[in-house]
């Protein structure tokens, strides 16, 4: 158990809909990262938040957005869903804003999103 929690575990929805995925980082970690894992694309970094502020952006679509709240939990919002958005969405947390010698990312169990 990494200490990172994600809800829900599974989500099934239809094309065009909007969903929200939730992540609670490990106690004391200030950074939250979101990743998308699909069969053909592997693990894709989407976005990072540190202490409530957006820190880095990866391959995140404009239909997707995220935020980190004062209690440090984060939400990833996916809208106008398409079939291709079906994937595992992981969040990870770390204590650091910047990578350093001790940087480690602790992954949550993931949310499996299925778009029908």
Partner 1 sequence: GQQVMQIPQYQHVQEGEDFTTYCNSSTTLSNIQWYKQRPGGHPVFLIQLVKSGEVKKQKRLTFQFGEAKKNSSLHITATQTTDVGTYFCAGRYGGSQGNLIFGKGTKLSVKP
Q: Which residues form the interface with partner 1 (CB under 8 A)? A: 2, 35, 41-45, 48, 56, 58, 90, 92, 98-101, 103-110
Report, in Å, the least distance between residue 11 CB and partner 1: 16
- Residues β-bridged to residue 48: 33, 56
Report, in Å, the least distance between residue 111 CB and partner 1: 11
Specify the residue, 79 or 88, whose C-beta has the smaller distance to partner 1: 88
Specify the residue, 79 or 106, whose C-beta has the smaller distance to partner 1: 106
CA distances from 95 to 25, 26, 54 (A): 9, 9, 15
Specify the residue, 18 or 103, whose C-beta has the smaller distance to partner 1: 103
By residue count, the chain amounts to 116
Torsion of CA 30, 36, 39, 40, to 10 degrees: -120
Report, in Å, the least distance between residue 32 CB and partner 1: 14
Report, in Å, the least distance between residue 26 CB and partner 1: 12
47's tokens: 């976005």
In DSSP notation, 65-94 reads EEEE-TTS-EEEEE-S--GGG-EEEEEEEE
Specify the residue, 79 or 96, whose C-beta has the smaller distance to partner 1: 96
């Amino acid at each position: 158990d990494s200490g990172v929690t994600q809800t829900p575990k599974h989500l099934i929805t239809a094309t065009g809909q909007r969903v929200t995925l939730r992540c609670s980082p490990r106690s004391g970690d200030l950074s939250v990262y979101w990743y998308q894992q699909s069969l053909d694309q592997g693990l894709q970094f989407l976005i990072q938040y540190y202490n409530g502020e957006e820190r880095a952006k990866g391959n995140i679509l404009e239909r997707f957005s995220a935020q980190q709240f004062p209690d440090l939990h984060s939400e990833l919002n996916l809208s106008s869903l398409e079939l291709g958005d079906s994937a595992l969405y992981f969040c990870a947390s770390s204590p650091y804003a910047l990578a350093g010698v001790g940087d480690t990312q602790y992954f949550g169990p993931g949310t499996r999103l299925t778009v029908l």
